[in-house]
Amino acid sequence: MNDRLEHKVLENADAIITTVGDRYHKILNSKISNPNKIHKIYNGYDKLNYDKIKETKPNKFNIVFTGVLSKNHNYEIFHEILKILSPIKQNLNMVFTLAGRIDDNITKLYSNEIELINKGYVDHDDAISIIKSSHLLINFNYKKTEKTDMISGKLIEYLASGTPIINFSNSANESQEVLKLSPKSFNANTNSIKLVVDFIKSEYKDWTEGNYKKQSLKNIDLLSRESLTKKLLKIIKGIK
């Protein structure tokens, strides 16, 4: 019944808008007769509001995560990385700042390895301010989401900050396409531990030597809500 209803809705739609690309589109393609009516529009960021929020960097190398972090996310990899880096034991001037709904057990796990600040739930403007305070941004994809590879609006807001991003995911081709806008950003999985450790060491070294530079991203404005709304309007006008 559900499959028949889904097929009917999709088949009768004038246009189908998704926030993900290739993988999910392949799933949809198998369910409809006209795949040309499937369109991708990412969750964008509010550029006008984003640009109004002041950027203030702390006097510590600030690794930041905002959002929801539970045992359903790929959090274990970063713990292994922290154990190797050992910021507390090595007396590194480094802090991990979290904001959002964070599992208490994960917080305790991370706090054994690195100085940790848990802001808890904050409003959206405060979350943007925390993102802008970062020297490195961390994102954790949900486990077992390889089929759809969802792109969150948060990842776009991360990009807009100009800070390097490490996105922990077992498989995330779509995320990788988006992260190409940021030369220093990349996806990481269980096979990337040495890569991530070396990258964080390098970024930290540059920061301690006064050589940390915010990235200037080309075409980031294309992911603003204004630009994406224009794209949506074009699709709507093209419906016959």
Higher pLDDT, 212 or 136: 136
Ramachandran region of residue 67, left (φ > 0), alpha (ψ -120 to 50) or beta? left
**Domain identity same for 28 and 138:** no
**Domain identity same for 77 and 184:** yes
**Domain identity same for 56 and 13:** no
**Domain identity same for 174 and 55:** yes
Sign of the torsion formed by the C-alpha atoms of 181, 47, 129 and 116: negative
Helix H or strand E segment including 217: none
Rounded Cα gap, residues 192 and 156, in angstroms: 23
Rounded Cα gap, residues 8 and 25, in angstroms: 17
DSSP E strands in 103-213: the ranges are 115-118, 136-140, 165-168, 186-188
Q: Would you say 167 and 150 are in contact if contact means Cβ atoms under 8 Å apart?
A: no
Q: What is the pLDDT of residue 55?
A: 94
Q: What is the pLDDT of residue 160?
A: 94
By the 10 Å C-beta count (0-12 exposed, 13-18 middle, 19+ buried), 164 is classed as: buried
**Domain identity same for 55 and 162:** yes
**Domain identity same for 63 and 171:** yes
**Domain identity same for 177 and 64:** yes
**Domain identity same for 131 and 230:** no
Higher pLDDT, 58 or 16: 58
**Domain identity same for 123 and 14:** no
Whether residue 201 lies inside any domain: the answer is yes
Residue 1 pLDDT greater than 60, yes or no: no
Residue 148 pLDDT greater than 70, yes or no: no
Q: Domain count for the chain, please give it.
A: 2
Q: What is the pLDDT of residue 20?
A: 74
Whether residue 78 lies inside any domain: the answer is yes
**Residue 43: closest CA among 125, 152, 147:** 152
Q: What is the pLDDT of residue 238?
A: 84
**Domain identity same for 144 and 125:** yes
**Domain that residue 16 falls in:** 2-43+220-237
Whether residue 214 lies inside any domain: the answer is no
Whether residue 215 lies inside any domain: the answer is no
**Domain identity same for 161 and 182:** yes
Q: What is the pLDDT of residue 207?
A: 97
**Domain identity same for 81 and 127:** yes
